[in-house]
Amino acid sequence: MTVCNMDNILIIKTNASGDVLRTTVLLHVLEGNIFWITAGYNIPLFPDEYFNLTLIPFENIPADLFALRFDLIINLEEDPTLAKKVSAMQANKLIGVFWNNGMLDYSEDSAGWFDMSLISKLPASDADKLKRNNTSSYQNIIFEMIGKTFYGQPYILYKNDLLIAMDRKTIGIETRVGSRWPNKYWKGFEELVQTLRKQGFEMVIFEERMQLREYMEDIQHCRLIITGDTLAMHIALGYEIPCVGIFNCTSPYEIYDYGFLQKMISPMLNQVFYKTLHLQEAMEAVSVGKVLDSIYAQLD
């Protein structure tokens, strides 16, 4: 199947900013008038201008969008409201999630991703097993959905051109994680920071910024990023900044490393794989010593 040289294409990926960023790789292989529905807070992730890309905030979808006929719709959101909207649109082909007989459904060519999801058509135990055993990156999977091959195409994201050639000396540390997966948090950050400070490293611990692009520029200033499975990791990969990523409970295999990410995989990963229950031992399972070794290797 070939999906290039199309007139109108609609991508729907709204939430989870890191997931939105890694979905931007599709822009390398889709041609035509591309519309992308995403959450308004994610729009600053994108460049101000990118060929024929039109960004549409989910909170304010214009009525005339529904009058268009699309050659292809790619819906990657497991959201009933969006699925109903998608199912009412005119499209030659739909890949991903749609509304079918009062429930969420997904196309056969997107089963490689959604068979592992919360809306999987498989029994929950089988879906969980697929997720646990999967070794394909998210990028590989979504490229397969559209009949393409992933060759390491990079993220497409906003960059401050003034910072590209700067001499970076700072190590950036993101200690925060979202509320959905509390076990992403790593308890070794405090000891790690103390050790690095004693060794004379220049560091910044990221804090919330008023504007997303200010946060992105904070990361762009750094020579190395240390974080869990977070947006900071994806931004670092987009900027080709070496990164040490700590994976306590989420899949490290779905993250394509681009040659810049050193994955620190918890020995307890299988026991707490995508569990939402707070487990202290899971947050302590990766040793500070191993993270330090990885940091030194990345700096070298």
147-170 confidence digits (pLDDT tens): 999 999 999 999 998 887 677 889
Q: How far apart are CA 199 and CA 171, in angstroms?
A: 13
Residue 61 Cα distances to 37, 54, 82, 213, angstroms: 8, 12, 11, 23
Give the domain range for residue 136: 8-145
CATH number at residue 101: 3.40.50
Assess whether 181 and 139 both reside in one domain.
no
Assess whether 139 and 265 both reside in one domain.
no
Return the pLDDT at 1. Answer: 36
Assess whether 123 and 249 both reside in one domain.
no
Assess whether 186 and 116 both reside in one domain.
no
- Could you tell me the two tokens for 91? 């499209």
Residue 178 Cα distances to 63, 68, 118, 131, 260, angstroms: 33, 36, 19, 21, 23
Question: Among residues 145, 179, 214, which one ends one of the domains?
Answer: 145
Assess whether 33 and 66 both reside in one domain.
yes
CATH number at residue 237: 3.40.50.2000
**For the chain, how far is it from start to end, CA to CA, in angstroms?**
44
* Residue 236 falls inside a structural domain: yes
Return the pLDDT at 165. Answer: 60
* Residue 105 falls inside a structural domain: yes
The list of the chain residues with pLDDT below 50 reads 1-5
pTM (two decimals): 0.94
Return the pLDDT at 7. Answer: 84
Return the pLDDT at 4. Answer: 43
* Residue 200 falls inside a structural domain: yes
The β-bridge partners of 35 are 10, 54
Assess whether 123 and 31 both reside in one domain.
yes
Return the pLDDT at 162. Answer: 82
Q: How far apart are CA 176 and CA 181, in angstroms?
A: 11
* Residue 250 falls inside a structural domain: yes
* Residue 153 falls inside a structural domain: no
Assess whether 123 and 179 both reside in one domain.
no
Beta strand segments in 210-257, E: 222-228, 243-247
- Total of domains in the chain: 2
* Residue 57 falls inside a structural domain: yes
Assess whether 140 and 168 both reside in one domain.
no
* Residue 244 falls inside a structural domain: yes
Assess whether 294 and 188 both reside in one domain.
yes
* Residue 3 falls inside a structural domain: no
Assess whether 186 and 234 both reside in one domain.
yes
Assess whether 190 and 282 both reside in one domain.
yes
Q: How far apart are CA 245 and CA 285, in angstroms?
A: 14
Return the pLDDT at 292. Answer: 97
Assess whether 135 and 166 both reside in one domain.
no
Question: Among residues 145, 179, 213, which one ends one of the domains?
Answer: 145
Question: Among residues 121, 145, 169, which one ends one of the domains?
Answer: 145
Return the pLDDT at 180. Answer: 86
Return the pLDDT at 278. Answer: 86
